[in-house]
Chains A and B, each alone.
Chain A
Amino acid sequence: MIEESIVKRVLAEAASTGADFAEVFAEDRRSSSALLDDGRIEELSSGRDRGAGIRVVVGESTGFAHTSDLSESGLLAAAATAAAAARASGSGQRSVDLSDGTHGVSNIRIAPYEVDKARKVELLVTANEVARSTGNSITQVSARYADSRRRILVANTDGLFSSDDQVRTMFSVSAVASGDTGMQTGRESVGRTIGFELFDEYDVSELAERAAQRALTKLAARPAPSGEVPVVIGPGGGGVMFHEACGHGLEADLVAKGASVFAGRLGDKVASELVTLVDDGTMAGEWGQFTIDDEGRPAQRNVLIQDGVLVDYMWDGLRARAEGRPSSGNGRRQSYRHLPMVRMTNTYLLGGTSTPEEILENTPDGVYIAHLGGGQVNTATGDFVFGMTEAYLIEGGRITEPLREGNLIGNGPAVLAAIDAVGNDFAMGSPGTCGKDGQGVPVGDGVPTLRVLSGLTIGGTAA
């Protein structure tokens, strides 16, 4: 993307006024998408975006500038702007040595950008036909295909010179069912850090049928109860709960500022002993996977909570530098236009020993959530919410009637302590986009079946 000799001169310019650290992050992103709605292929869209962000750190201050001009003069101008923004005064290193670092190669089998657009369109048409034929009450269907290729290069004054090639492919289907009780929706999506071979692993017909079935099931749904109830979460999609209940609270930048209920709690028991929580950027092919993070650090598997005890937080380079420890490979950014910060990758709960049947049988009354929506957390108080997009009543240890959609609310530490059963049926969930301070990055999550005995309040309208 940029020649090594140019990178060296740009870093030298960035560091010339006395920086403690300077970094060049270059990115070349291509994306394409196709959308079917209302029974026809509505649009195909493609995008190309390339540029570089230059960061200069002086003490606790960071100067940052970005440019879409990847020529040497464009990069040097951005470097000078970043150095000026960092407000260094003095002189610094005039030359930078780079040692060859990690160079990630995407292990895709079928490059999506080389696949004929007609084949992508075919997938959408199939999804539409299957979803509509799932039931007469299906009145609307939309489906979306998207792929992206993101090539990045990171170099810094510590001598790092690394690159990565990240290819992601995703597909989603949404269906609307209409009946006497109004309209209901169902959605399914798959996304992986792989190429077009995604569709060898997943059959779009099955996805479409599941999305349609979800909408149809909810036509007969009754209002959810309201108040605190025991909750059983099915395998896969429940990872969103951990992402919100404690994931964000374990990000070192929030911890350092005292904006997390988990600050100062390393070594403490913060969850039921059944909880071992891992954040893992190395999980092959998962939505939040990469070879190097957006600061050039190799992805890692990091155990955050081990048997209920808080083992470590997640770190980016800036926070790690301040505390004299290595980064954990969690420095990520949405694009070259953004500064990196601490972000999750693939966050999941390790499987336990119970069978899902046992967990249900031992739950006389409660709510079973088969599929979760998004969530949100106030890290300062630990209060978090997440949505349920497919849920059922549990009566007498059995799943019975479907429930309408709603949110659940709880407090992170209280909910983690109240997990009293973890299943042996671990599965990863749907691809997600995690938002923090206005930046979105792809993240994955996963859980086995689990039960939260208390602490979750469900927001239904049933009396």
Chain B
Amino acid sequence: MGSNWGDSRYRRHGSVWNLKDDGTMSENFADDLLGLADSLVAQAEPGEEIEVVLSRGTSTTVKVYNQSIESLTSADGSSGGIRVIRDGQLGFAHCGSTDEAVLRQTLAEARDNLRFAEPDEFNRLAEPDGVESVRQATWSDEVLSFPADKKIELAMALESKVLGLDDRIVSARSTSYSDGWGHSVMVSTAGIRIAERSSSCSIGTQPLSESDGETQIGFGYGVWLEPSQVDVDKVAAEAAERAVKLFGAKKPLSGRMPIILEPRLAMTLLGIVSGMLAGDTVVRGRSPFANRLGESIASPLLTLTDDPTRSESLGAAEFDGEGLACRPNPLIVKGDLNRFLYDTYTARRVGVAPTASAVRGVRSLPGVGAQLLVMEPGAGSLEELIAGVDQGLLVNSFSGLHSGVNAVSGDFSVGADGLMIRDGAIAEPVREITAASTIQRLLQNIVAVGGDFEWLPSGDGAATLVIEDVSIAGV
């Protein structure tokens, strides 16, 4: 279980029932985990709140190299996380098991931990708030029965495909197929009782290319619900294109110019922005947008919503990390800051309704964050957007995002490579450059949003962005 709470066929109200997408009943896949969680929650003493999260899953990864199997990993795992609150004091403990004795120790450890936390009146578990969840299809039985030979075949096919697409591609550092499924349950004394399941599969490759003594590396990656949807050709084509497009790249002259970010990179930037709109950073005075609600913080061209209910996306989810039904949260509407994201704690502290924006893994406490970001598309294809730029940079990749972006000050300074744009057309490749601005200015300087909306492997939906006046440093 990651930031997405996955699939659910079980509701907290009513009796145990599981509906398949075709409306028929399926087996109650997580009754054992629910029973275990129920028994732990039942141990709550008067005045004590307990929340138990349990998960289990299986994953397989095949890596191939030079048309032979490099490794085949097969793994089963389970884990548990227990949160206890008493008199506003919070304790947490986690374990890598769903063994009952281990979970009882984990509960005892969480109780012990809470004695040292300072009381906070807003520390209470999430209570169901009447918002109905939207059913999502994030489960397919196909992953369970997909044979190992077929998994190997897909990885081999991807490697041979990408090697055959361009003479300059000499090998692929790593090519893989992965799949997995998981069950998770959450039960609490506050009335949350849900079970969810999810499955997915993915392929990826990193081709190496050589020309005139220069080596370049590309990458391609895709995620699907079930193996029959895997698109080898698409991933291979993306990876091959990235592996050969920067041959002969040089450092450009320094200057201020517009940059064009393809949907994937546009979402990288907006993902950082969404972190700056998370309630915990806002209430703790770490967001430069803290006092800007209702004000213009971005170009009027930008509308950004966190909406895990979007069924078209693989990232769609029914519940957040505290068990509340997911709901759409418009963050930036035509450039105006419309809303922050809140979990139960931060919403209570600010005195607003929760936005069901708790994100968590089993082994950590819930935090606040976006779950499925969607940009509203504008107009124009990538070619049309390029044609509108006199001199600029079509970015191929950013590096150092973790070290070069400060979400508190907004300072933005990252490594980059890409293709120069001159007179509205793609010109020479460039590398070893930095791109610098501030997050605040980048948002205001958006001059175009493309009509080329796409759903990314991350689950987010994005379109190309054109941002002007960015400092590009080369020579």
Contact = CB atoms under 8 A, between A and B. Distances in A.
Given A257-B65, A386-B400, A459-B434, A227 B475 contact: yes
Interface stretch (A164-172, A181-189, A265-273, A346-354): A181-189
Contacts of B113: 43-46, 117
Nearest to B173: A259
B400 A184 contact: no
Interface in B151-170: 170
Given A38-B284, A42-B90, A176-B285, A459 B473 contact: yes
B288 A380 contact: no
16 contacts: A40-B120, A46-B94, A47-B96, A48-B105, A61-B70, A64-B71, A68-B78, A81-B74, A176-B408, A182-B409, A379-B217, A407-B403, A457-B432, A457-B434, A457-B475, A460-B413
A117 B109 CA distance: 12
A375 B364 CA distance: 26
A383 B102 contact: no
Contacts of B473: 226-228, 457-460
A51 B90 CA distance: 28
Interface string A66-90: 1110000000000001100111000
Nearest to B123: A42
Contacts of A93: none
B206 to A, nearest CB: 8
A118 B116 CA distance: 7
A406 B117 contact: no
Contacts of A218: 409
Specify which of A47, A408, A459 lies most central, judged by the most chain B CB atoms within 10 Å of its CB.
A459
Contact of B475 (A228, A406, A458): A228
Interface in A332-378: 337, 339, 373-376, 378
B207 to A, nearest CB: 10
Contacts of B94: 45-48
Interface in A164-216: 176, 178, 182-185
Contacts of B434: 226, 385, 406-409, 457-459
A375 to B, nearest CB: 6
Interface residues of A, number: 81
A190 B207 CA distance: 39
Nearest to B410: A182
Given A405-B406, A409-B415, A457-B474, A339 B216 contact: no
Contacts of B170: 258
A297 interface: no
B61 to A, nearest CB: 9
Nearest to B253: A227
A454 to B, nearest CB: 11
B437 interface: yes
A71 to B, nearest CB: 11
Given A62-B72, A405-B404, 15 more contacts: A40-B118, A42-B120, A43-B92, A44-B116, A47-B94, A61-B70, A62-B70, A68-B77, A120-B116, A140-B284, A376-B415, A381-B215, A381-B431, A409-B400, A409-B432
A60 B70 contact: yes
A121 interface: yes
A386 B400 CA distance: 7
B431 A257 contact: no
B254 interface: yes
A375 B365 CA distance: 28
Interface in B81-114: 90-97, 102, 105-106, 109-110, 112-114
A405 B92 CA distance: 35
Nearest to B96: A49
Given A43-B365, A65-B75, A258-B171, A48 B408 contact: no
B471 interface: yes
B74 A43 contact: no
A224 interface: yes
Which are the 9 A-B pairs with shortest beta-carbon distances?
A459-B434, A387-B403, A406-B413, A385-B400, A407-B404, A385-B415, A49-B96, A44-B113, A226-B473
Interface in A203-260: 218, 224, 226-228, 254, 257-259
A303 interface: no
A121 B116 contact: yes
B39 interface: no
Contact of B432 (A64, A68, A85, A410): A410
B63 to A, nearest CB: 9
B422 interface: no
A34 interface: yes
A117 B284 CA distance: 25
Given A374-B403, A376-B403, A376-B415, A406 B436 contact: yes
A389 to B, nearest CB: 8
Contacts of A307: none
B30 to A, nearest CB: 18
A126 to B, nearest CB: 15
Interface in A136-157: 139-140
Given A34-B116, A85-B74, A257-B208, A226 B436 contact: yes
Question: Which residue of B113, B254, B473 has the most chain A CB atoms within 10 A of its CB atom?
Answer: B473
A376 B90 CA distance: 37
A383 B215 CA distance: 11
Given A459-B404, A459-B414, A64 B96 contact: no
Contacts of A66: 75-77
A41 B413 contact: no
B73 interface: yes
Nearest to B246: A381
B363 interface: yes
A407 B473 CA distance: 11
Nearest to A373: B403
B399 interface: yes
A319 interface: no
B65 A43 contact: no
A404 interface: yes
Contacts of B173: 254, 257, 259, 380
A459 B413 contact: yes
B144 interface: no
A140 B399 contact: no
Contact of A47 (B208, B254, B363): B363
A117 B110 CA distance: 13
B72 A61 contact: yes
A404 B409 contact: yes
Contact of B288 (A42, A46, A182, A259): A182
Contacts of A48: 94-96, 102, 105-106, 109
Point out which of B74, B94, B120 has the most chain A C-beta atoms below 10 A from its C-beta.
B74
B433 interface: yes
B447 to A, nearest CB: 18
Contacts of B206: 259
A43 B109 CA distance: 13
Contacts of B284: 37-38, 140
B158 to A, nearest CB: 16
Contact of B117 (A42, A224, A385): A42
Given A47-B93, A47-B363, A381-B217, A226 B117 contact: no
Contacts of A60: 65, 68, 70
A400 interface: no
A82 B72 CA distance: 8
Interface string A439-463: 0000000000000000001111100
The residue among B117, B284, B365 with the most chain A CB atoms within 10 A of its own CB is B117
Contacts of B97: 50, 68
Contacts of B116: 34, 41, 44, 117-118, 120-121
Contact of B254 (A51, A227, A386, A404): A227
A257 B409 contact: no
Nearest to A36: B118
B77 A61 contact: no
B96 to A, nearest CB: 4
A66 B78 CA distance: 11
A347 B388 CA distance: 48
Contact of A259 (B93, B208, B404): B208
